[in-house]
Structure 1
Amino acid sequence: MAGKREEARDNGRGVVISDDWPGYHLDLFTYPQHYYGDLNRVLIPHGVIVDRTEKLAKDIMNDIGYCDIIVLCVLKGGYKFCADLVENLKNISRNSDTFVSMKVDFIRLKSYQNDQALGDMQIVGGDDFSELAGKNVLIVEDVVGTGRTMKSLLGKIKKYKPNMIKVASLLVKRTPRSDGFQPDYTGFEIPDLFVVGYALDYNEYFRDLNHICVISEQGKEKYRV
């Protein structure tokens, strides 16, 4: 990405976007016009997300090897990242001599209302992880903020003794509230901003936005519940 950016090679933090990164002006990209005035800027364009996801898939395959995987997609914000990541993993498998079986399951977590984190993680839907026993599990998440939500989920899954658990997150926020949790695979490390788009939502809005953008105060008020 253009502009100031820290070197991210081999540090496990992904593409590191600095606090003073101005992003891109909205007029440089297409986006749904019903969100006019609801966004401040484009933080990560869709094309950059696509390229970074392809590289993450290669890193995952190189790391865990060609073994059968259960992908646990964290809904709802993780569905686009998960779909793109799994497609890249399948492409690597198809072009290799070893077939990798991938089963995708889903878990829905609720940890935000408006732009505020809830006190406790809420599991909405299937929380029976017994089928993960002895399996190789890849959890795919959209955003890691404080890390408490993911640590809580990992604690529940580990009780069923999977063979391996890895976590891939599209975004990790730099926040003083972090408990230090770091995913195994990170797409982008970003400032402590509330971002939307690429299936990340604000009260169920902005999922239809392809780019990852910073929501404006007008947008927060418009869609507040």
Structure 2
Amino acid sequence: MRVNSSSDRASECVPSRATGMEGGIVIKDDWPGYSLELFTYPEHYREDIESVYIPHGVIMDRTERLARHIMDDIGDHDMVVLCVLKGGYKFCSDLVEFIKVQCRNSNKHLETRVEFIRLKSYLNDQSTEDLHIIGSQDLSVLRGKAIVDTGKTMKALLKHVEAFEPKMVKVAGLLVKRVSNVVGSLPDYVGFEIPNRFVVGYALDYNEYFRDLNHICVISEIGKVKYKI
């Protein structure tokens, strides 16, 4: 199902390669993003970002839709949400809140608790795959991660989680990058499929900077140099 029929539009919605169901909103390779002049953002980042790639309102609407899909799949199972820190904390928080709201509106009883996993997988704009894990067990597990690129950390973490024999394991990823060296399958729930560009904001960082941006933005070369370590 296409969202936009014109070839010069930003995105379309396509079936997920992992599930055959509705997949993420695909942002095309030539999408430059929106002008910074159209949005508010911290003034000290003016030279450090090129454009607003995904506005905050679009992120929230898409996350609400993912919550509905998750509710349909989980049913009445109690659920442990594994939030991948630090970049996934905003996505996870908003996703869980939408799930709770939908539970209240549908009169479903779904006990949900959140556990946290710390991953440090980037130095500057390069993936390091340095994995630190905290485990959980006994219930259905939803793993929330802000961004999936090569899938190496996702594969390692799923192997660790499955050792605890949960009833069900699902993965939600806000962003999935189109890269050639993907390991394993896509997440079960995908917010957006994006080109292989380095994006920041909505808790995604570059050496701990830019987490305070509400929108997902493209970092500029000036920003990369300024905050490089």
Give the TM-score normalised by structure 1. Answer: 0.93
* Pair 1:181-2:185 in alignment: yes
Rounded Cα–Cα distance in structure 2 between residues aligned with 1:11 and 1:17: 18
Task: Name the residue aligned to 1:7.
Answer: 13
* Pair 1:116-2:126 in alignment: yes
**Stretches of structure 1 lacking an aligned partner (at least 5 in a row):** none
Q: Contact 2:81–2:141 at 8 Å: present in 1 too?
A: yes
Q: CA deviation at 1:55?
A: 0.4
Query: What secondary structure sits across from 2:191 in the alignment?
Result: strand
* Residues 50-71 of structure 1, C-alpha deviations (whole Å, 9 max, x = no match): 1000000001101121221001
Rounded Cα–Cα distance in structure 1 between residues aligned with 2:184 and 2:221: 29
- Report 1:14-53 matches (<5 A): 14-53=24-63
Over the matched positions of the two proteins, sequence identity in percent amounts to 58
Query: What secondary structure sits across from 2:53 in the alignment?
Result: strand
- Report 1:54-133 matches (<5 A): 54-118=64-128, 120-123=129-132, 127-129=133-135, 131-132=136-137
Rounded Cα–Cα distance in structure 2 between residues aligned with 1:11 and 1:174: 18
Rounded Cα–Cα distance in structure 1 between residues aligned with 2:170 and 2:62: 18
Q: Contact 1:42–1:213 at 8 Å: present in 2 too?
A: yes
* Pair 1:165-2:175 in alignment: no
**Stretches of structure 2 lacking an aligned partner (at least 5 in a row):** none
Q: Contact 1:12–1:184 at 8 Å: present in 2 too?
A: no
* Residues 83-125 of structure 1, C-alpha deviations (whole Å, 9 max, x = no match): 100000000111122211100110111111000111x4321xx
Query: What secondary structure sits across from 1:81 in the alignment?
Result: helix
Q: CA deviation at 1:128?
A: 4.4
Q: Contact 1:197–1:207 at 8 Å: present in 2 too?
A: yes
State how many pairs are aligned: 219
Query: What secondary structure sits across from 1:168 in the alignment?
Result: strand
Query: What secondary structure sits across from 1:8 in the alignment?
Result: strand
Task: Name the residue aligned to 2:205.
Answer: 201
Query: What secondary structure sits across from 2:121 in the alignment?
Result: strand
Q: Contact 1:196–1:202 at 8 Å: present in 2 too?
A: yes
Q: Runs of 4+ in structure 1 displaced over 4 angstroms? A: 9-12
Query: What secondary structure sits across from 1:151 in the alignment?
Result: helix
User: What amino acid sits opposite 2:218 in the alignment?
Assistant: V
User: What amino acid sits opposite 2:41 in the alignment?
Assistant: Y
Q: CA deviation at 1:157?
A: 1.2
* Residues 181-216 of structure 1, C-alpha deviations (whole Å, 9 max, x = no match): 200000000000000000000000000000000000
